[in-house]
């Protein structure tokens, strides 16, 4: 698996990549039905995904990473090099998603390991993420990878209840 940072070209995200990412998002209907991130989880459109990714990329220190296996898009990770809260020193995984048709094949674990290694290479000590309280499947995934629940709070964007998880990157 390789990670490819998504970058704007002449101020816009490349159309062929948006088409791929939209397909990946659309395959995860169950997650988007839980999250409410799109008005209709059965009809996720390229324009909506483009707007969502553009909004992510304007955040200082944000990165969108496309995960490819054998040339095909299998996952995506949205990361933030630091939380807006100045008392939080850790980088964050804002979203990690694998194409629904490829889940349970190890891609999520591989993608997580690559993201963690990027932060390790930067000298970061730990990584955090938030899991929606109504998503026990995601909570099981993250805790199986060694992430520990360290608190609960609402997310910044939509005020949804979340569990906050953290994993040390040393050792």
DSSP symbols for 127-152:
EEEEEETT-HHHHHHHHHTT-EEEEE
Tell whether the model's pLDDT for residue 105 goes beyond 90.
Answer: no
Tokens standing for residue 131: 């899991």
Q: Where are the alpha helices (DSSP H) in 29-170?
A: 29-35, 46-57, 107-121, 136-144
Supply the pLDDT for residue 171: 57
Q: How far apart (Å, rounded) are the C-alpha atoms in residues 156 and 168?
A: 23
Cβ neighbour number for residue 169 with a 10 Å cutoff: 17
Supply the pLDDT for residue 44: 96
Rounded average pLDDT over 52-77: 93
Residue 167, strand partner residues: 127
How many percent of the chain have pLDDT more than 90? 78
Tell whether the model's pLDDT for residue 2 goes beyond 60.
Answer: yes
Domains belonging to the chain, first-starting first, are: 2-168 (3.40.630.30)
Q: Residue 39: which region, alpha, beta or left (left: phi > 0; alpha: psi -120 to 50)?
A: alpha
Q: Report the Cα 18 to chain-centroid distance in Å.
A: 16
Rounded average pLDDT over 117-143: 96
Residue 161, strand partner residues: 154
What are 68-104's pLDDT values in tens digits?
999 999 999 999 998 878 888 999 999 999 999 988 8
């Amino acid at each position: 698996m390789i990670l490819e940072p998504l970058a704007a070209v002449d101020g816009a995200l490349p159309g062929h990549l948006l088409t791929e990412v939209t397909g990946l998002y659309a395959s995860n209907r169950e997650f988007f039905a839980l999250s409410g991130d799109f008005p209709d989880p059965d009809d996720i459109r390229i324009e909506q995904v483009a707007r969502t990714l553009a909004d992510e990329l304007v955040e200082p220190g944000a990165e969108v990473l496309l995960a490819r296996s054998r040339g095909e898009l299998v996952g995506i990770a949205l990361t933030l090099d630091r939380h807006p809260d100045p008392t939080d020193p850790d980088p964050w995984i804002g979203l990690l998603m694998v194409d629904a048709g490829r889940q349970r094949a190890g891609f999520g674990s591989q993608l997580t390991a690559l993201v963690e290694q990027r932060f390790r290479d930067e000298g970061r000590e730990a990584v955090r993420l938030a899991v929606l309280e109504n998503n026990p499947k995601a909570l099981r995934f993250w805790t199986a990878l060694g992430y520990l629940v360290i608190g609960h709070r609402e997310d910044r964007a939509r005020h949804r209840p979340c569990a906050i998880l953290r994993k040390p990157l040393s050792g």
